[in-house]
Chain A
């Protein structure tokens, strides 16, 4: 007998391997990066053209930023699981890595992708959209950080659920919207506070909701992922 004696697996190494595999794969195929990039440019252009030189209330501008981020994220985040199913490598992954490590690795990958997407969207949005000026950067940075993590957490488990469905493309935003709605409402409100120049303490309520959302989604996802991933 060989492996039973010498097997010394590390969960962290396995989770990191899942992340690095997806990362290197993405650098070679550039599917998600291209889709996300194109969506950001397209949606910001549409917002820009529709507003023209006229401004809009800060509530509307804050909401539109997260509309851009939501639809851009929907275009690329499902790839992490859908690509495994489409290429037939999902079983290869099941056979090699513990399911909890798969979830952690995919969550990390989606987290990095969403943070990059959100930062790029925010920079382009602030640069091109008239009237969108951030006055309290601390609120805005924390909103982007917590919002991105919340997006990544929900998007990862939803991607795992829809990966085996035949109508993946349409199912993803449809399933995601009700789950992401509490997150969207909170980040829109926090972004509005950042644009209005509110004090950091005034946004604590929003941050508590965002942190609670992340904890709840990650906890439930960890518990159900094994059932979603196997069989």
Chain B
């Protein structure tokens, strides 16, 4: 079976308040999903559930892989870039990438780390401590970290946040590349700069 991500009647409740309910979709490799909705509609919550860092109150998300399917433990196959995701700012950009791979239980790949840092425009700052970086540069480090393990599913929550024109171009090329390799999910309110998506979950409607 090829790569496939399915959501069945996903519901999330916080403190007796239903954030969203009845979210279902199914997508395969090469397809894209847009998650939209006003502030507080639960875009980030849905992204976290798909990423496997939050548990849905009801329903389930299943990632079907060529070697079998997994309902729990999807995170090894997911890359996430989001404003609320922080990097370790006492380490350098290169060390952060190394840590991200080792925490996943994978062997270090210094060449790939250097390639990715060059790709996100940080080749001159690889050994600088992240604490000294601007918010846009930290966002670029997050992109490199999310791509280090070549994720089957790439989730981008507010992908253009803090980025300049050059950074936005990097994001667009990253999104295009992911479409050729796996699944791309983008959560944003800023629809002005985004290309065509195969599917859309509008949380203003499904609530």
Question: Using a CB–CB distance below 8 Å, which chain A residues touch chain B?
Answer: 1-14, 16-18, 20-21, 24-25, 28-29, 87-89, 91-98, 101, 230-231
**B124: Cβ under 8 A from any A Cβ:** no
Q: How far is the CB of B172 from chain A (nearest CB, A)?
A: 20
Q: Say yes or no: B76 contacts A3, CB within 8 Å.
A: yes
Are the C-beta atoms of B105 and A88 separated by less than 8 Å?
no
In the complex the two chains form, is B84's CB within 8 Å of A88's CB? yes
Chain B residues, CB < 8 A from A24 = 91
> Are B103 and A14 in contact, CB atoms less than 8 angstroms apart?
yes
Q: Does B3 contact A (CB under 8 A)?
A: yes
How far is the CB of A214 from the nearest CB of chain B, in Å? Answer: 26
Choose among A2, A5, A16 the residue with the greatest number of B CB atoms under 10 Å from its CB: A2
* Contact yes or no, B150 A2, CB < 8 A: yes
By beta carbon, the residue of chain B nearest A105 is: B103
In the assembled complex, how far is the CB of residue A163 from the closest CB belonging to chain B, in whole angstroms? 15
Q: Do A3 and B91 touch across chains, with their CB atoms under 8 A apart?
A: no
Q: Assess whether B197 is interfacial by the CB under 8 Å rule.
A: no
Report how far A102 CA is from B65 CA in the complex, Å. Answer: 25
Chain B residues proximal to chain A, CB less than 8 Å? 2-3, 29, 48, 51-55, 65-67, 73, 75-78, 80, 84-91, 99-100, 102-107, 149-152, 181-182
Cross-chain contact A95 with B51 (CB below 8 angstroms): yes
When chains A and B are docked, how far (Å) is the Cα of A231 from the Cα of B57? Answer: 11
In the assembled complex, the Cα of A101 lies from the Cα of B106 at a distance in Å of 13
A230: chain B residues within 8 A (beta carbon): 53-55
B152 touches A1 (CB 8 A): yes
Distance of B201 from chain A, by nearest CB (Å): 21
B86 touches A88 (CB 8 A): yes
Closest CB in chain A relative to B8 CB, distance in Å: 20
Taking the nearest CB of chain A, how far is it from the CB of B37, in angstroms?
A: 21
Contact A13 B90 (CB under 8 A): no
Q: Which of B73, B84, B152 contacts A3 (CB 8 A)?
A: B152
List A contacts of B86 (CB < 8 A).
87-89, 91-92
